[in-house]
Structure 1
Amino acid sequence: MTKPDIPKRLAARIRAAQTRLEDCCNSVSGSDFNHRQAADELAEYDANPEAYARKNYGNHGIDSYPVTTRISRLREKVAYHSTRGDVRKQRIADAVAELEMVEAEVLAEVSGMRPTSGRVPWPKTIPAAEQLLRDHRKELDDLAERVRLEHEARKIAQAEEDRIEEERDRIRREKGDAEHQAWLATQSPEYRREWNRRIQMIVDGIRSGRVGLHNIGEFIENEVNGRS
């Protein structure tokens, strides 16, 4: 059916109803997307809690506060979304019914009007609700995939930077060790024995647990160098 040209105010009423339907579909598809994301993450955790914790929280175990809090919130989110399906379907049905009612009212009103100037074309028909949902879901899925790929690319780049820096550190350590050994070789046997004795004291202290980052400076100053 060819729709007639209509006054601008009536075209605005139709466009407003169309926008409400589009917004409703976007909201529902967004909620569905969040539900799927939460359910997928929860399934990953349930399949292997230890692997999930290592991947997402590093040194935090499965019983740590960050992990338990995240999983608790995910379970709450999944449980909530699982009860909202009928409500969301009804919201879409109501928005579709409103648009149909507005279009019918506008058509009835225009039919009883005398032709006037300044009319505009009937607003372009928007896709059906099902298509709006599919389109927005695809947009969200595509965005999530782009974010995932960017995240993976950053991880790969960071891993390569870390590898390069570790290699530089290794070279610096080896160079420093070589220079130190060359210098130590110029010292007297007594000096070398005393040096090795002090190094062994530090190693033994660390192995025994008496020495750590919190007191190694004091240990060297007082016990290794004997200045207490």
Structure 2
Amino acid sequence: MTHDKPSLPKRLAAKIVAAQNAVTAARRHLHYSAQSLAQDQRELAEFERDPVAYAAKYYRGMPVESYPVQEHIRRRRADVAHRMPRQSLHQATLAAADAALAEVERAVLDEVQRMRPDTPGRVAWPDPLPSLEGARAQWRWDDANEAQARREQEAHEALMAEVERVNQESDEVIASAKATLAEVEAAIAEAEATMRRVTAGH
């Protein structure tokens, strides 16, 4: 990411990065809080559209009036009631962090412009943050990849468990076959010995 900002001492670059981190943290808090709120609202809407179908789908064998169903819905409603008014607080926190970042960058730029151009120990000006929507898109992509990785790991573990089960069954079949073969060989040996004794008696 290119920009026309000058290089600057590490200590000043660190101030900008710290302010950027505060913005990123505020963005993430707003993003995931809004995401959780929307998920709870969708679930409550599904319940309210058809409580019986909801209970049958998520709580098989339990009626709508059962404690698990009612307690879960009570908690979702409480979460929504808690998160709704806090969205404006998260937005205000983000706005304050954005303003603080702009002020830090302005103050740092003023200080750098007063310095001698050959001041040693300079580093590149930190790259600007992506847009809020760009950051949200990245988090959605990361979450999707993490979920996919989780599913692949679960599928791999299930496959390995099945392989282990099949191997164990195969070992048991082989062991049983060996035992049967040993019994057959013993029976044959006993029959041959009996035949020899009979022949010798004649």
Pick the TM interval, shorter chain.
0.5 to 0.7
8 Å Cα contact 2:33-2:87 kept in structure 1: no
Which residue of structure 1 lines up, in the alignment, with residue 24 of structure 2?
A: 22
TM-score using structure 1 length:
0.59
Which residue of structure 1 lines up, in the alignment, with residue 84 of structure 2?
A: 82
- 1: CA distance between counterparts of 2:35 and 2:147? 13
8 Å Cα contact 1:33-1:137 kept in structure 2: no
- 2: CA distance between counterparts of 1:144 and 1:76? 29
* 3-state SS of 2:123 partner: coil
- Deviation of the 1:128 alpha carbon: 2.5
Which residue of structure 2 lines up, in the alignment, with residue 181 of structure 1?
A: none
* The one of 118, 121, 124 aligned to 1:118: 121
8 Å Cα contact 1:6-1:121 kept in structure 2: yes
- Specify every segment of 5 or more residues in structure 1 that has no aligned partner in the other structure, as ranges: 158-228
Which residue of structure 1 lines up, in the alignment, with residue 41 of structure 2?
A: 39
- Specify every segment of 5 or more residues in structure 2 that has no aligned partner in the other structure, as ranges: 159-202
Aligned residues between the structures: 151
Structure 1 moving runs of 4+ over 6 Å: none
Identity of aligned residues (%): 37
- 2: CA distance between counterparts of 1:99 and 1:37? 31
* 3-state SS of 2:122 partner: coil
Counterpart residue type for residue 128 of structure 2: T
- 2: CA distance between counterparts of 1:144 and 1:6? 37
Q: 1:140-196, CA deviations, whole angstroms, 9 ceiling, x for partnerless residues?
A: 4x369759x95xx99xx9xxxxxxxxxxxxxxxxxxxxxxxxxxxxxxxxxxxxxxx
- 2: CA distance between counterparts of 1:138 and 1:89? 23
Q: 1:40-64, CA deviations, whole angstroms, 9 ceiling, x for partnerless residues?
A: 1111111111111111111221111
* 3-state SS of 2:53 partner: helix
* The one of 64, 76, 88 aligned to 1:62: 64
Which residue of structure 1 lines up, in the alignment, with residue 74 of structure 2?
A: 72
Two-structure CA RMSD over aligned residues (Å): 2.5
Q: How does 1:1-228 map to 2 (within 5 A)?
A: 2-114=4-116, 115-137=118-140, 139-140=142-143, 142=144, 146=148
- Deviation of the 1:138 alpha carbon: 5.5
